[in-house]
Structure 1
């Protein structure tokens, strides 16, 4: 089987970054596509109640996936560092440690998802008619946590080695499985939101199986074998040094979105459904900068591991430019076709009208500020300063977003529109802080 790993420490930076980013973007896009498919199919076959249920449950699913992504980012950085330094033994030990650590982390997250989801939905004031469907959806998704974490671990390690193409192939298989099962279980068998959840879990399991099959065929790079599945204390420390702040960052960001979802729920089913759709579409707009950020993290870590300081700095600048260009294009397209895109999910005129307002405000200038913030945070993570990215997440998601949404939406009477403005304005200061980290150059001392 062809090897796709790239050496990110040679060649023109902007070209290498672009080549590495494109497969990551399409992989993220396909991942979002099969998640969005759940909402489209549920919206068409179940209606606004089912859509509100899936919208709220999806935010909890983002939290679970975010914790997995955060932990495994530590694997990306450590594999990239050891690979950049030419340390093949360290790379092999990192692989074994990350897989063991990921499996151990999945268990408490699964239990928490099963035990707490109903109470969280009640706390978020999810309309009573949508509560049973949301709980059923979340119970099934929580059971698939090990597949989510395992898949993220494989992809994190591949990215650290400079391979962004293979994860695209894995998620393409999952997308096809998810769409087919959505139509079968929700559309034909009329299983409602539970059918959509089973489709997603099955697709994730298939993606993990295909990924593990690839690794077995490749003899698990660097001579890795099952006996390598041990916890190396130094590798655990290296992974968690980045993984814990990154996981907390993902947790904080998604918890803040969860609390904002609770604010939207107070305005009824139509607003809850519209906000859920708007969040999904905004997620699509964020796909380009997420891919760039993933590429920047791996590329910066490899180059810093190889002690190529100038090239590491150039990676950050190239990433910011590419992120702004790609995200700006996505924002323009969404603004032009906002009503049509909302209509793909639900035909209720009230849902469409409210969803368009959401996109007009939130998916606008704030998208560009978010692109800068995310890319700079990814650079900080790749250069060993994941705590800065965590600080920025706390600032943006807790201090600014929740405070501004509360002030504009409730204290000053702006309602649904005020909450949207609070979300939009929260990204500006963290973007400036991220740029400041790059310009100060303190990351050079971490090489």
Structure 2
């Protein structure tokens, strides 16, 4: 019983061997991220096999718009996680209590705003992106259902971010697994049995996310030994509200910029037709799994750096950054290798169309080396964010996406036009992504070495 209680207790990452702290924290989060990736993956598998390739393309085309319109939650989540980890490391109970309560209130306000604006804007944005007429209605219904139930997605991300800031990655994992299993069951029920198509997939996701957010909230309400969950703290204070915004806005802007770049490139992708759109969906689903070690270590490094910066243990931050990045590279290389070996089997899960699987696998091979570069970007950016420097990673993302990725994508498509490929070669889209990742890793290393992040603690 004591062992089980210890497993679900917050982890103090200011003591012990850095690599052990990071690894113990990362592994449950990696498993949790795999479970979260199953949300979209199962959606795609069920839709691709039971509705068709066009429905698969519809779900994928909706992704960039969904990402663009949830940037408010990304910002609040990152700001809350950084504040919580630093206050936890500094042992400031009252500040920790206020930060958690303020984050919950801001999430509620943001959920209402996004629900209203995004539901109205969904179809006009899809039309603006030249979404093929054959999948437009499916895309619209999928997005509108997700945005009407956006509060579940929002609160899960913020509350699980708070749990991770406290060093508890196990609880978020457990609740996400419960939600993922429920999502799979509901997908099959709504799509296969009730024949609800794309709308059924969206509804299943909304219900599963809502349940995971409720479970996270109940867990936080029981953590009375660390902070106070009382009504007076839910009044948004100037200091804590501004800190959440200051720390979170750059991350939200980063996500918005990346999503805008994806939207611009999505317009280019759409010009190649439904088949390439469907292939792109498959690649992005597999890409989601390839990225999991990178995102997991990035989040772990944010918590690790936040707690140790709060404790003013800067040498320990540098030591952990070096060890954490090395582990991230190792994990990423292993998973990328497995995807290259078993990629065709993985992609065959999404569709029975053989040439679609071959096309998807060819695109995936282009990206392979880039995942090592992303391991470096995510880990070192995580350290900078945890220290309170969320602006530098924002500028790195702007350079990667706006300055590099988009112009290179359109430039390569233009340069590869020929009699055989009048619209340019489709590979250009993935080559541009690979180039931007590699150059982004070099820029990130330079910015981390400059050490400006040391001056940003709250």
For structure 1, the 5+ residue unaligned runs are none
- Report 1:38-117 matches (<5 A): 38-117=43-122
| Range with bigger deviation, 403-412 or 325-334 | 403-412
TM-score after normalising by structure 2? 0.94
Out of 219, 222, 226, the position equivalent to 2:227 is 222
What is the alpha-carbon distance in structure 1 between the residues aligned to residue 146 and residue 169 of structure 2?
26
Q: CA deviation at 1:112?
A: 2.5
Check the 8 A contact 2:75/2:245 in 1, yes or no: no
Within the alignment, does 1:131 sit opposite 2:136 as a pair?
yes
CA distance in 1, matches of 2:262, 2:323: 29
Displacement, 1:297? 0.4
User: Among residues 266, 270, 274, which one is paired with 1:261 in the alignment?
Assistant: 266
2:248 to 243, 246, 249: 243
Q: Tell me the SS of whatever aligns to 2:47.
A: helix
Could you say if the C-alpha distance between residues 35 and 446 of structure 1 is closer, same or farther in structure 2, counting changes exceeding 3 Å?
Answer: same
1:193 aligns with 2:198: yes
Query: 405, 419, 434: which is aligned to 2:429?
Result: 419
Counterpart of 2:165 in structure 1 is 160
Aligned equivalent of 2:401: 397
| CA–CA separation in structure 2 for the residues paired with 1:361 and 1:118 | 32
CA distance in 1, matches of 2:72, 2:173: 21
Shift of 1:219: 4.7
In 1, the alpha carbon distance for the partners of 2:128 and 2:152 equals: 28
Equivalent residues of 2:82, 2:302 under 8 A apart = yes
Q: Report how many residues are paired.
A: 446
Q: Counterparts of 1:288 and 1:403 in 2: how far apart (Å)?
A: 28
For structure 2, which runs of at least 5 residues remain unmatched after alignment?
418-423
- Residue 344 of structure 2 contacts residue 357 of structure 2 at CA under 8 Å; is this kept in 1? yes
Is 1:387 equivalent to 2:391 in the alignment? yes
CA drift at 1:209: 1.6
Length-normalised TM-score, structure 1: 0.97
Aligned to 1:433: 443
Q: RMSD across aligned C-alpha pairs, in angstroms?
A: 1.5
Q: Does 1:349 align with 2:354?
A: yes
Choose from 368, 371, 382 the match for 1:367. Answer: 371
Task: Tell me the equivalent position of 1:444.
Answer: 454
Distance 1:97 1:242 in 2: 14
Is 1:289–1:374's contact at 8 Å kept on the other side of the alignment?
yes
- In structure 1, what is the equivalent of residue 322 of structure 2? 317
